[in-house]
Amino acid sequence: MSNYLQFTKTLHITKPTLYGEWHNGPALLELIDKFCDNLRILDFTMAGSSSWCAYLPKIPQVTCVRGRSKDISETAAASFAEFRIDDLSNSFTNLQEVSLSGLQVCFNRKADTDPLPLPKLTTLSLNDCSWEYPSQIDDLGSVTDLRVVYSTHHFTHSERLRTFALSPPKTLKSLVIDIKSAYSDDNPTDVAWQPLLKHQCKGLVSLEVRGFNFPGEEFFLALPAALTKLKISCRSGKQLSTSSWLILKQHKRRNQSFSMLLNNELVRL
């Protein structure tokens, strides 16, 4: 069997337990350490905290970690499994991508002068995840590609999400904020506030927002000069005002590569 394991690039752990994550067993440690030389992606489902990750051996070949709660339904929102980003720092020294679903994420960087927990991390995806104060995505420092999605989740009403969306990490080049719960039959209302009004993302080139109120002039005036791709989806059947269209027209003149989709239709500028 070990002869075949050397070709394994993705390892899936699918059976969590409330009585301690079995992932930390000696058999798994030996499997990864001795046989999975070409492992690139570690994909696991968890019931408790992420503390077991801190005791894994050095796995420098893994560049992507995907973790999810065994239950990411709305009913489990109050008791999400905790995922501490710095639990990955000891074992995954070359980690470039992290994707988490249905977890309470802790970033735990106390000051800007503290070393980054994952200095090579560039891509982060959070699906129905929450985080507690004072944790914030900015604590990761190096993320350039960020995707934040909520299907049905209490966190969409939190001040923490609003604060993040108004001023995302300034390192970003690509950002997706998708509030799918605004499109559900039970809650067919767009989020009342608009994102990015206080941003410092000067290098942002791609932006997709879904589930917010129809944007006004203030939103378009705040768009970074580097932006080349804008996609907006909202339930409202409104059209761009003349003043908003003129703002976008000026942006297009300054940046010839710029294009915009509004509810999947190309806006002619």
pLDDT tens digits, residue range 147-195?
Answer: 999 887 667 778 888 889 999 999 999 999 998 766 655 555 566 678 8
Of 33, 30, 34, 40, which Cα lies nearest the Cα of 8? 40
User: Can you tell me the distance from the alpha carbon of 126 to that of 68, in angstroms, rounded to the nearest whole number?
Assistant: 10
User: Can you tell me the distance from the alpha carbon of 39 to that of 194, in angstroms, rounded to the nearest whole number?
Assistant: 41
At which residue do the structure tokens 């909520």 appear? 150
Question: Whole-structure pTM over 0.85, yes or no?
Answer: yes
User: Domain containing 94 — which CATH number?
Assistant: 3.80.10
pLDDT of residue 99: 97
pLDDT in tens, 37-54: 788 999 988 887 888 888
User: Can you tell me the distance from the alpha carbon of 143 to that of 60, in angstroms, rounded to the nearest whole number?
Assistant: 19
Banded pLDDT at 236 (limits 50, 70, 90): low
Exposed / middle / buried, residue 83 (Cβ in 10 Å: 0-12, 13-18, 19+): buried
- CA distance between the termini of the chain: 59
Residue 114 has pLDDT above 80, yes or no: no
Question: Which domain range does residue 243 map to?
Answer: 2-266
- Total of domains in the chain: 1
Alpha-carbon distances of 246 from 208, 241, 243, 250, 267, rounded to whole Å: 20, 9, 5, 6, 12
Banded pLDDT at 246 (limits 50, 70, 90): very high
Alpha-carbon distances of 266 from 26, 123, 194, 232, 262, rounded to whole Å: 55, 27, 21, 11, 6
27 CB contacts (<8 Å, ≥6 apart)? none
50 CB contacts (<8 Å, ≥6 apart)? 67, 81, 82, 83, 84, 87, 88
Residue 264 has pLDDT above 50, yes or no: yes
